Structure 1
Amino acid sequence: MIEPSLEGRRAFILQNTRQQHPPHTPELRLQLADEITPIWRLTEEALEAMGVPPPFWAFAWAGGQALARYVLDHPNVVAGKRVVDFASGSGIVAIATMMAGAADVLAADIDPFCEAAVQLNAEANGVECRYTGENLLEVAPPGWAEVILAGDICYEKPLAEQVMAWLHAARAQGATVLVGDPGRTYFPKTGLRKLAEYQVPTTRELEDFEIKRTSVWTVSD
């Protein structure tokens, strides 16, 4: 069983992943797993629980890689600004945002392993990111956020609808909202404007293709 503390989760991640360079953002170094089934099983065993959500924090998903690439290539989007990285996972987008010159980044994710993953990965890249495990969908979008970023958040229909409604509310408050998505089934087709499209290398362990056509969108008014 894993020690129920931040240090215990850090130790678990270091023991069961290895530092890698995501193919679409080779500037970054992240603690990543090579296969999803073993790390998922190990997480269940460590927590002594079944039905644990997939370890999204252990992989650089296509939507997150595309969004991180866009931010690194267009630093003016986040430079000097206060940013929220929604459903942060490994922290790839939050870290890229800090490297692009953001004034402050809050990485948000409800998976308790994400705090340790974001912390480890931020340290490896020489940046600092704040973290919250609060479910932001249960509250209004933070009024202080000038930019909200969300990568790969449309896996399930009810959640996708809830997240997109929350992101549109953030846009209505004046925030710039960017979303990275590799063509998930429940990604909406309206209320968005495409900013960029990438061919993102991934793995058949995670996706149906080794290269995923992935786009970055902005929530329109």
Structure 2
Amino acid sequence: MAGGLPHGRAFRSADERVKTPAVDFIRRNTAVGRPPHVPEISLHLADEAHDLWLKTEEELEAIGLPPPFWAFAWAGGQGLARYVLDHPETARARRVLDFATGSGLVAIAARMAGAGEVTACDIDPWSGAALGLNAALNAVRVDYRQANMIGTDEGWDVVLAGDVFYDADLAKAIVPWFSGLAERGATVLVGDPGRAYRPNDRLRALATYAVPVTRALEDAEVKRTTVWRFPAS
């Protein structure tokens, strides 16, 4: 699909009053909280990460729910959101793509930093419901695409991605895409807490944070998280 337009639904972040099965499930199984490293932002987060993860495995066939990445503030996303808020010039008045948005944390941070336009994308339809609720909590609007955007280029000024190097096939697909975007002049930033498939060459470290995380998911209470920039080759 490289070079083509993405196929998927496009809509603006939903109002909290909108009721769908996904929105209802998120409300029942999460509580509003603030990620410890980005307390300026409120999110619908899972209280008991391990229990919710197991529940979704058990109910997968019944309700069609993939693993709920949208229910947690992952270390890479927290670090990247922190960087954007602390360096608002990164996003201010610019067109931003938040790739694999999950909860929408990074997209919301970009909007709060003054981005002119923010598009968030994810292949998980539940992510759109979570983003809608979370954007409403923070009084921002974000364009959402339920689509695989890999290989596309809509002229974004900035591309942000938190915690995307956990899978070998995904990393293999996005590294050349990110490099190509950087080559044509986009600012491409990733937040990564040392995932196994992060490329180790050419990336430039911009900031490193000690990010509190959920032990049930990370087997740690703090993850050293770095924000990297993809340079043009």
Q: TM-score, normalised by structure 2?
A: 0.87
1:1-221 equivalence runs, <5 A:
7-44=20-57, 47-49=60-62, 53-137=66-150, 140-221=151-232
Does the CA-based 8 Å contact 2:56-2:66 persist in structure 1?
Answer: no
1:84 and 1:220, CA in 2 relative to 1: closer, same or farther beyond 3 A?
A: same
CA separation in 2, counterparts of 1:146 and 1:169? 13
Deviations 1:121-166 (A, max 9, x none): 00000100000011112xx332321100000001111211211121
Deviations 1:146-197 (A, max 9, x none): 1000000011112112111211121122210000000111111112100000
Does the CA-based 8 Å contact 2:108-2:142 persist in structure 1?
Answer: yes
Which residue identity lines up with residue 228 of structure 2 in the other structure?
Answer: W
Which secondary structure state, in structure 2, belongs to the residue aligned with residue 133 of structure 1?
Answer: strand
Structure 1 regions of 5+ residues with no counterpart? none
CA RMSD of aligned residues (A): 1.8
- Higher relative CO (CA 8 A, sep ≥ 6), structure 1 or 2? 2
For this pair of structures, how many residues does the alignment match? 215
CA separation in 2, counterparts of 1:26 and 1:114? 21
1:50 and 1:160, CA in 2 relative to 1: closer, same or farther beyond 3 A?
A: farther
Which secondary structure state, in structure 2, belongs to the residue aligned with residue 117 of structure 1?
Answer: helix
Q: TM-score, normalised by structure 1?
A: 0.92
Structure 2 regions of 5+ residues with no counterpart? 1-17
CA separation in 2, counterparts of 1:143 and 1:6? 31
Which secondary structure state, in structure 1, belongs to the residue aligned with residue 228 of structure 2?
Answer: strand
Report how far residue 49 of structure 1 moved: 4.9
Report how far residue 33 of structure 1 moved: 0.4
The percentage of counterpart residues that share the same residue type is 53
